[in-house]
Structure 1
Amino acid sequence: MDYENRFVKVSVDRGLAVVTLDRPPANAVSLEVYDEIRRTFHRLGEDPAMRVAVLTGAGKVFCGGNDVNDFVDLEFDRATEYLAHVRLTFNALYDCPIPVVGAINGAAVGTGIVLASLCDIRIASERAVFALPEIDVGVLGGSRHVMRLAGQGMTRWMMYTGRRVRADEALRARIVDEVVPPEEVMPRAMAIAEEIASKSPPAIRLAKLGLNRTEDMNMKEGYEFECTLTAAVRRTPEAREGAMAFLEKRQPSYAAR
């Protein structure tokens, strides 16, 4: 499958994709980059060989936010069209059928913190910082996505002030799931991705579908939907292989990656 992008680099090995934002110096996101991110995650999800992805940034920055040059002369009509691209990109990452592990290697501000929040699991460098600075450049940001993790108080504080949040604060606010030394970010993210990739591929995809769909359901509705997915996964040969491997005290053998 073709991943020939200018700024979003993709490498694939045995069903594990590493997606790297690579637009020096700060991996700022322009309209072109949004479209490349959207196409990349659509293609990853459509490829049945894909099991998991790791999203990171090249250099010392995860993502420095939007390219502010795009906003200087952005009028209402063009802003509406521009933001449609943004929404579609964010939806593509959230809805990607395979899990996405965020390797937050540095600053994740504006669009960067939103991209991080849309990952399924987030591993952050001790040097990472997080912010919603849009209030200072005449736009509003992706606070609704951040609010899924951080809750109302921290999100409003960040949104109203543009303040930067250190990695340890982000961990306490549940914006990230784990904080590690800078040199351990990618190894840790890759280890988690490898663990996910070792599981039943159809079960993992159905698990992500269930987690996304039930996020806004009440408990009874959510569990009812999960039960339909359990029935669906039981139709797969991987389900029987997993059960047999457990009974036989061995590692399951799924289709080759």
Structure 2
Amino acid sequence: MSFENRFVKVEVDRGLAVVTLDRPSANAVSLEVYDELRRTFHRLHEDSSMRVAVFTGAGKVFCGGNDVNDFVDLDFDQATEYLAHVRLTFNAMYDCGIPIIGSINGAAVGTGIVLSTLCDVRIASERAVFALPEIDVGVLGGSRHVMRLAGQGMTRLMMYTGRRIKAQEALRANLVDQVVSPDELMPTAMRLAEEIAEKSPPAIRLAKQGLNRTEMMNLKEGYEFECTLTAAVRRTPEAKEGALAFLEKRRPAYADRG
């Protein structure tokens, strides 16, 4: 798989991708970065050999938000076109067929907090902070994405004030799933990625599809859809191999990635 990006670095090893946002000094997102992120996660989705991705930021910042220079002179029509690129990027991450583990190494503000919410699991450094500061620079942010995790009260507080919250408060608000020391951040994310990568690839992809779809359904509709995916999993050779490996008390063949 080839990635010819300036600001989104990708390393792939045995179906595990590490995606690093690298745009000094604060990993601010420009239109070019949005398009690189969209293409990257679309390619990961399309490649059947991919199993899991870890997404992080280079240096001390996860993502410092949008490059404000892009917004200074935007009129209504230009803003509408720009935001279309933003939506396509966010959709590419949400719809990516493989799980994405967010390794949140520092500030995740504005677009940064939205990028973190689009990961399936979020592990944050103790030094991480989160904010929706758009109210201070004349735009509005991705509050709907944040609301999926943090709920109405915290989202409104962050949206109205632009206030930064620290990692432990983000943990209590369900914005992240685990907080670790800076030294343990990437090792923890990589251990989780390795654990997921050893599972049946078709089952993992169907599981993510089900989780995404049923999130918007009521209980009965969601479980009915999940049952159709269970039936679909049973058609795969990995399903039989997994059952046999369990009975024979051995590792399934698909867990060995070479």
Q: TM-score, normalised by structure 2?
A: 0.99
**Structure 1 residues 107-142: Cα deviation after superposition (integer angstroms, max 9, x where no partner):** 000000000000000000000000000000000000
* Mapped contact 2:143–2:159 kept (Cα < 8 A): yes
Amino acid at match of 1:31: L
User: Is residue 206 of structure 1 aligned with residue 206 of structure 2?
Assistant: yes
Amino acid at match of 1:131: A
Question: Structure 2: which 5+ runs fail to align?
Answer: none
**Structure 1 residues 207-228: Cα deviation after superposition (integer angstroms, max 9, x where no partner):** 0000000001011000000000
Looking at structure 2, the residues matched to 211 and 191 of structure 1 have their Cα atoms a distance apart, in angstroms, of: 22
Amino acid at match of 1:86: V
Looking at structure 2, the residues matched to 4 and 19 of structure 1 have their Cα atoms a distance apart, in angstroms, of: 13
Aligned to 1:24: 24
* Mapped contact 2:198–2:255 kept (Cα < 8 A): no
Question: Structure 1: which 5+ runs fail to align?
Answer: none
Following superposition of structure 1 onto structure 2, how do residues 52-71 of structure 1 map, counting pairs within 5 Å? Answer: 52-71=52-71
When structure 1 is superposed on structure 2, of 139-148 and 245-254 the one drifting more is: 245-254
Aligned to 2:228: 228
Amino acid at match of 1:91: N
Looking at structure 2, the residues matched to 69 and 177 of structure 1 have their Cα atoms a distance apart, in angstroms, of: 33
Amino acid at match of 1:97: G
In structure 2, the CA distance between the partners of 1:255 and 1:103, relative to structure 1 (3 Å rule), is closer
Looking at structure 2, the residues matched to 99 and 177 of structure 1 have their Cα atoms a distance apart, in angstroms, of: 15
Following superposition of structure 1 onto structure 2, how do residues 122-201 of structure 1 map, counting pairs within 5 Å? Answer: 122-201=122-201
Looking at structure 2, the residues matched to 6 and 229 of structure 1 have their Cα atoms a distance apart, in angstroms, of: 38
Looking at structure 1, the residues matched to 165 and 147 of structure 2 have their Cα atoms a distance apart, in angstroms, of: 14
What SS is found at the alignment partner of 1:20? strand
Q: Percent identity?
A: 84
Tell me the CA shift for residue 255 of structure 1.
7.3
Looking at structure 2, the residues matched to 62 and 185 of structure 1 have their Cα atoms a distance apart, in angstroms, of: 12
Amino acid at match of 2:151: G
Looking at structure 2, the residues matched to 164 and 90 of structure 1 have their Cα atoms a distance apart, in angstroms, of: 22
* Mapped contact 2:104–2:123 kept (Cα < 8 A): yes
**Structure 1 residues 34-81: Cα deviation after superposition (integer angstroms, max 9, x where no partner):** 000000000001001100000000000000000000011011000000
What SS is found at the alignment partner of 2:140? coil
Aligned to 2:244: 244
Looking at structure 1, the residues matched to 46 and 189 of structure 2 have their Cα atoms a distance apart, in angstroms, of: 23
Following superposition of structure 1 onto structure 2, how do residues 71-150 of structure 1 map, counting pairs within 5 Å? Answer: 71-150=71-150
Looking at structure 1, the residues matched to 136 and 69 of structure 2 have their Cα atoms a distance apart, in angstroms, of: 14
Runs of 4+ in structure 1 over 4 Å off: none
Amino acid at match of 2:216: D
What SS is found at the alignment partner of 1:254? helix
Looking at structure 2, the residues matched to 37 and 13 of structure 1 have their Cα atoms a distance apart, in angstroms, of: 19
Looking at structure 1, the residues matched to 99 and 79 of structure 2 have their Cα atoms a distance apart, in angstroms, of: 31
Tell me the CA shift for residue 238 of structure 1.
0.2
User: Is residue 217 of structure 1 aligned with residue 246 of structure 2?
Assistant: no
Amino acid at match of 1:133: P
What SS is found at the alignment partner of 2:253? coil
CA RMSD of aligned residues (A): 0.7
Looking at structure 1, the residues matched to 220 and 153 of structure 2 have their Cα atoms a distance apart, in angstroms, of: 28
Looking at structure 1, the residues matched to 33 and 112 of structure 2 have their Cα atoms a distance apart, in angstroms, of: 12
**Structure 1 residues 197-253: Cα deviation after superposition (integer angstroms, max 9, x where no partner):** 000000000000000000010110000000000000100000000000111111111
Looking at structure 2, the residues matched to 95 and 7 of structure 1 have their Cα atoms a distance apart, in angstroms, of: 21
**Structure 1 residues 172-201: Cα deviation after superposition (integer angstroms, max 9, x where no partner):** 000000000011110000000000000000
Amino acid at match of 2:158: M
